[in-house]
């Protein structure tokens, strides 16, 4: 198939591009390299060295004999987006091209506006490009489990049957996003569902949990093909942060009580889920939602797993609780349905000792490059004293 991958230079987009290329698909990457610019702006860096996108693509051709096409551009630039749609005539579009960090979106007004503008308007541009230039194309859009929040009922896959005053209907599952980033994803979902309804587009919204891991069959073929390992407090996940902290003898920093529970998924399963969505496409006019997770853990459970395995490696590891910079329930019910991808053929890779061992040993290998100043949270969801004084004035 002709597959256009928007955001193909990112943590997920790059291994996804390699995997689909390895399966024989004709892959084109469309990316504006913004994620790299943020690292330069803030002094951040992936723990694993990341080569330029041009070097990555050249390396892939060298080791596999397969060519990935590259177009540098931005989803906010409709002329550039239109051009790549007309040239590629994609049969499937995988949409990763969004600002993906909740802490980033909560830094200040500027970052909140950037997140919502880039994500919502960028996705609207994608929808119009499909409508105008590739109406039969299947959109596979990366959503987030964070759209649902933490309701005190089981989370269904996108929709829920409601009984109300003697009548029933199947409606979108209630949304309770926890950041400006998650709000942007909710807006995306509504816009995509609407466009499927009125234009007859076909789309799969993948509400993904937290992804862990850095290795796939393709990225391990050459160090230049590596994907990102972020551990900083803006883009790093809790599991990455814990593994890095353990490797340098830094206390594992659990926010608040640590009962915050989320869905998780291995990187290998993420790229397989996207393939399953592509090869079993939505029908014309269909908007469908898959919950893309395989397991659920609380922060404390993750910290205990990392602590236990780190001690087996001879590392002295302890856990500390920090005031939670986020506004969220720290102890709550959480049970999310995730059956549709399993039914399509997903065989999950679970978070076991071997995976933990690999992540911790990776952090140990590169621990001389770890910047401890990037770990502690500096972004606060709440209005600070300075905010109040500025508003009063």
**Which residue of the set 28, 75, 123, 144 is catalytic?**
144
Q: How far is C-alpha 206 from the geometric centre of its chain's CA atoms?
A: 10
Residue among 127, 121, 158 at smallest CA distance from 143: 158
The answer to whether 292 and 337 have CB atoms below 8 angstroms apart is no
Distance CA 171, CA 154 (A): 15
How many other CB atoms are there within 10 angstroms of residue 25's CB atom?
21
Distance CA 206, CA 283 (A): 16
Q: What does each C-alpha distance from 64 to 13, 246, 270, 355 come to in angstroms?
A: 18, 36, 22, 26
Tokens 């600002």 correspond to 99
The alpha helices in 159-247, defined as continuous H runs, are 180-199, 238-247
Does 212 participate in catalysis according to the annotation? no
Distance CA 4, CA 60 (A): 17
For residue 345, what are the contacts with CB-CB under 8 A and spacing of at least 6?
276
E-state strands within the chain: 2-6, 26-31, 69-72, 92-95, 138-144, 159-164, 167-172, 202-208, 210-212, 252-255, 261-266, 287-292, 295-298, 319-322
How many other CB atoms are there within 10 angstroms of residue 77's CB atom?
13
Does 197 participate in catalysis according to the annotation? no
The answer to whether 48 and 227 have CB atoms below 8 angstroms apart is yes
Distance CA 51, CA 42 (A): 18
Does 61 participate in catalysis according to the annotation? no
**Which residue of the set 148, 181, 231, 334 is catalytic?**
181
**Which residue of the set 115, 185, 231, 261 is catalytic?**
185
Active site (catalytic) residues: 144, 181, 185
């Amino acid at each position: 198939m002709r597959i256009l991958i928007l955001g193909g230079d990112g943590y997920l987009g790059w291994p996804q591009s390699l995997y689909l290329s390895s399966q024989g698909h004709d892959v084109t990457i469309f990316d504006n390299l913004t994620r790299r610019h943020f690292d330069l702006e803030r002094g951040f860096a992936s723990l694993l060295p990341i080569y330029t996108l041009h070097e990555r693509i050249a390396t892939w051709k060298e080791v596999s004999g397969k060519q990935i096409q590259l177009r540098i551009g931005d989803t906010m630039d409709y002329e550039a987006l239109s051009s790549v749609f007309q040239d590629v005539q994609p049969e499937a579009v995988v949409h990763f091209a969004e600002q993906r960090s909740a802490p980033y979106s909560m830094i200040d007004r500027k970052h909140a506006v950037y997140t919502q503008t880039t994500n919502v308007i960028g996705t609207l541009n994608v929808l119009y490009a499909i409508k105008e230039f590739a109406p039969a194309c299947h959109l596979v859009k990366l959503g987030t489990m964070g759209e649902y929040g933490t309701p005190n009922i089981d989370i269904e896959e996108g929709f829920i049957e409601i009984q109300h005053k003697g009548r029933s209907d199947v409606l979108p599952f209630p949304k309770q996003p926890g950041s400006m980033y998650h709000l942007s994803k909710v807006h995306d979902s509504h816009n995509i569902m609407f466009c499927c309804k009125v234009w007859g587009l076909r789309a799969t919204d993948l509400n993904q949990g937290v992804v862990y891991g850095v290795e796939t069959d393709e990225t391990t073929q050459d160090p230049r093909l590596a994907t990102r390992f972020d551990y900083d407090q803006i883009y790093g996940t809790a599991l990455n942060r814990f593994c890095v902290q353990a490797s340098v003898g830094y206390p594992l920093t659990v926010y608040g009580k640590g009962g915050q529970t989320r869905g998780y998924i291995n990187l290998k399963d993420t790229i397989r889920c996207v393939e399953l969505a592509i090869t079993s496409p939505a029908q014309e006019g269909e908007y469908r939602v898959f919950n893309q997770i395989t397991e659920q853990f609380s922060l404390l459970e993750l910290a205990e797993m990392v602590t236990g395995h780190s001690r087996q490696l001879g590392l002295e590891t302890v856990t500390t609780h920090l005031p939670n910079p986020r506004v969220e329930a720290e102890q709550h019910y959480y049970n999310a349905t995730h059956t549709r991808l399993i039914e399509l053929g997903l065989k999950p890779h679970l978070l076991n000792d071997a995976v933990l061992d690999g992540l911790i040993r990776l952090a140990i290998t590169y621990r001389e490059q770890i910047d401890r100043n990037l770990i502690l949270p500096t972004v606060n969801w709440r209005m600070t004293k300075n905010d109040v004084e500025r508003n009063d004035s």
